[in-house]
Structure 1
Amino acid sequence: MNKKALIHVFSVQPDESDKEEPIEVVTPGSFYKKGDFYYAMYEETEISGMEGTTTTLKIGEDKFSLIRRGNITSKMEFEMDKKNISMYNTPYGTLQLSIDTKELDIEMGEEGGKISIDYDMTVEGQKPQNTSLNVHIEAQ
């Protein structure tokens, strides 16, 4: 069931003056189901600053993982009422991220669906940064 897909990723993160800094990516990718999970995969581009990296979205009923492999490697896991620690490896060094999921809404089926996440992310030694992430997948 490997299908082509159009993947929309929209992220909002306020800056120091509480202005929202939206980031939106619309990219072609693939979408399939394996076991109890749906997967969406796409290649990052120069625009995202992560060229040479493949992003995989692993989507469960009540769990979501964002996995990057390539120039940047990381595995960020989102589950309600659970803090997750992740290592974020870049060409410039490794950061430890703590992710505290506040809201997680997943609606996914054979034709795609949507994911909404509100979470606090803390980079080692910094104050938490609230982020809203919305993903919409259209299988084709």
Structure 2
Amino acid sequence: MTKDVILSISGLQFDHTQIDAGEPVEIITIGEYYKKNDKHYIMFSEVTEGFTGTTKNTLKISKDTLDITKKGVTNVHMIFEKNKKNITCYNTPFGNLMVGIAAKDVIIAEEEENIDVNVDYTLYINYEHLAECSIAINIKSKDAKNFSLEQ
């Protein structure tokens, strides 16, 4: 994997009132990658519409864990561990939320120039069940020979 990478992050929520899910929310951006102590680190920035400044994001990927840290317009440290529930405070421009994440599955597939992460989890806000969710993350070397934005 090269230092310069392209990330695709797609999320989907299903609440108990929906029969079928809505459209996934997806971002595609560039980032920086490095590996240390068998953990993959990806850093990228995002802009929040309607606010000045950016949010710096760090993804830390290990054997069966996805760790997301956001610092800036929003601030949070979320940990997705298979069969574990983690609670954190999510600081947004609109106020703070207690967020609970109960990850049911964390699947990580690594190749030389590609990493795929898929997480299925239950989301709780202020100790109330909100939705069943999934996140799909694809990290590709910017210089990959078979580079494509389509999956």
| Fold agreement, TM-score > 0.5 | yes
- Of 107-116 and 30-39, the range deviating more from structure 2: 107-116
- Secondary structure, counterpart of 2:83 in structure 1: coil
Relative distance call for 1:92 and 1:48 in structure 2 (3 A) is closer
Relative distance call for 1:52 and 1:10 in structure 2 (3 A) is same
1:36 equivalent in structure 2: 38
1:96 equivalent in structure 2: 98
- Of 6-15 and 129-138, the range deviating more from structure 2: 6-15
Is there any run of 5+ residues in structure 2 with no aligned partner, and where? 143-151
Q: Deviation per CA, 1:95-114, whole angstroms, max 9, x where unpaired?
A: 11110001110113552310
Separation of aligned partners in 1, 2:14 and 2:24: 8
Write out aligned runs for 1:6-85 (5 A): 6-14=6-14, 17-18=17-18, 19-46=21-48, 52-85=54-87
Is there any run of 5+ residues in structure 1 with no aligned partner, and where? none
Work out which of the two has the higher radius of gyration on C-alpha atoms and give 1 or 2: 2
Runs of 4+ in structure 1 over 6 Å off: none
1:52, CA displacement in angstroms?
A: 1.0
Separation of aligned partners in 2, 1:50 and 1:106: 34
Separation of aligned partners in 1, 2:118 and 2:27: 15
- Of 46-55 and 125-134, the range deviating more from structure 2: 46-55
- Which of 107, 111, 114 is the aligned partner of 2:116? 114
RMSD value, Cα: 2.3
Q: Deviation per CA, 1:41-80, whole angstroms, max 9, x where unpaired?
A: 1111245989510111100011111110111110110111
8 Å CA contact 1:86, 1:97 repeated in 2: yes
1:4 equivalent in structure 2: 4
Instruction: Report percent identity of matched pairs.
Output: 32
Q: TM-score, normalization: structure 1?
A: 0.89
Relative distance call for 1:105 and 1:85 in structure 2 (3 A) is same
